[in-house]
Amino acid sequence: MPYILGVDGGNTKTIALIATLDGRIIGSGRSGCGDIYHSFSTSTRSATAVTTAINNITDAVTQALQHAQITLDQVLTSVFNLAGADWPEDFALLQAAMQERHFGQTIVIQNDALGILHAGSIENIGVSVVCGTGCTTGARGPGGRVWHASFWQGTQGSVDLSKNVLNTVVRAELGLEEPTILTNRVLNYFGLDTVEDVLHTLTRREKHTSNIPRIDGLTPILLDEADAGDTVARRIIQQHGWSLGDYAIVAARRVAITQRPFPLILAGGVFRHTSSQLVDTIVERVRQVAPNAQPARAQFEPIIGVLFSALELSGIPITETVRTQLIATQPNATLFDTRG
């Protein structure tokens, strides 16, 4: 009996799912970073990053196969939705690695900005903004034309937002910014008494990083305070959202959909916060150029959209029955937890 394989590999985790051709998910696996560019500042580290990413992808797939109790020769089609699939040589490297491991009779590699489109739109057309630890923007137009921002995109996700918070708090301490409640929130987050203590902790030569809270944990604090009315927090959100909206506009232009209605799919951990301010700003900016953009939150994880693509490549139409079965049989949410 043939099966499909979907893999979603990002900077934090790699998820693999096995499903039947009628849309039942029967196996899952999870491992670490699946991005071949993660920690690549020197050629040696780059080689290590490639090896580590491919090993992590392999580990997730192996777990999913074991969980499903099937063998590789039963995998008909596999789609790999990967951060790090950016330049032509990346696609060639990843395609060769997956083929060498016999991860399907048909193997497709795509940038991780694209998987969520199928999770948010059955037509698989539109613009995606996926904002998590990093951020990626992609689009697909009629006829299958695609574009993804990759290294063109400067504005990122929770790490960038959190760095903006720290920079603003430091500037406020120096009198270069107006006072903000973010200062007290940052001090409480790090458990320190002064802004200088925070700056010293994060920049000193001998850091005990295991004792320092993750910097991206400041993003929920930023969103909380923006909702509470802090003008500085709101300004940070507005500037960031405006910039993300700019990249979404570029994506829509590259696939020629600005003049027609299209889904603007917003996904990722940052958008799961109860605050709507970042989303509202992105939508406001996009609609200045593409007034028919239709914002929507992805109803499920990007990996489900990847499975939709694998089914279509296998010649299986995405009927309501298939869609319902995939959603009903998706694993527990803990599998997808970024901090898990």
* pLDDT tens string 72-95: 999 999 999 999 999 999 999 999
The reported pTM is 0.87
Q: What is the extent of the structural domain holding 314?
A: 3-112+300-336
In a domain, 259, yes or no: yes
* pLDDT value at residue 338: 66
Residue 195 forms part of a structural domain: yes
CATH number, domain containing residue 232:
3.30.420.40
Residue 178 within any structural domain of the chain: yes
What's the confidence (pLDDT) of residue 40? 47
Is 43 part of any domain? yes
Contact 53, 33 (CB under 8 A): yes
Tokens of 123: 């037509």
Amino acid at 180: T
Compute CA 84 distance to the chain's CA centroid, rounded to the nearest angstrom. 12
Is 135 found in the same domain as 63? no
217 and 327 co-located in one domain: no
State the CB neighbour count (10 A cutoff) for residue 227. Answer: 16
281 burial via Cβ count (<10 Å: 0-12, 13-18, 19+): buried
One domain, residues 18 and 137:
no
The pLDDT score that the predictor gives to residue 339 is 53
pLDDT tens-place string over residues 108-166: 999 999 988 887 677 789 999 999 888 999 999 998 899 999 999 999 999 999 999 99
pLDDT of 158 reads 94
Beta strands per DSSP E along the chain: 3-9, 14-20, 25-31, 75-82, 106-111, 126-131, 135-140, 146-148, 262-267, 293-297
Statement to judge: residues 162 and 286 lie in one domain: yes
244 contacts 264 by C-beta, under 8 angstroms:
no
The verdict on 216 and 139 lying in the same domain is yes
Q: Which of 24, 14, 102, 28 is nearest to 68 (CA)?
A: 28
Q: Which residues of the chain have pLDDT under 70?
A: 39-47, 120, 208-210, 338-340
Asked if 278 and 141 sit in the same domain, the reply is yes
Number of domains the chain is built from: 2
Rounded CA-CA distance 85/289 in Å is 29
Q: Are residues 20 and 66 in the same domain?
A: yes
Residues 254 and 241: their CA atoms lie apart, in Å, by 20
> Are residues 280 and 165 part of one domain?
yes
Tokens 């992609």 -> residue: 138
Whether 224 and 312 map to the same domain: the answer is no
Domain-embedded: residue 118: no
120, part of any domain = no
Alpha helices by DSSP H, 101-157: 115-120
Amino acid at 202: L
Q: What does the alpha-carbon distance between residue 113 and residue 334 come to, in Å, rounded to a whole number?
A: 22
Could you tell me if residue 84 is inside a domain? yes
Considering the domain architecture, whether residues 37 and 104 belong to the same structural domain is answered as yes
* 294 shares its domain with 314: no
Q: Are both 320 and 208 inside the same structural domain?
A: no
Residue 90: phi and psi, rounded to 5, are: -70, -45
pLDDT, residue 44, reads 52
What pLDDT score was predicted for residue 41?
40
Place of tokens 């996700």: 157
Q: Evaluate whether residue 117 is within a structural domain.
A: no
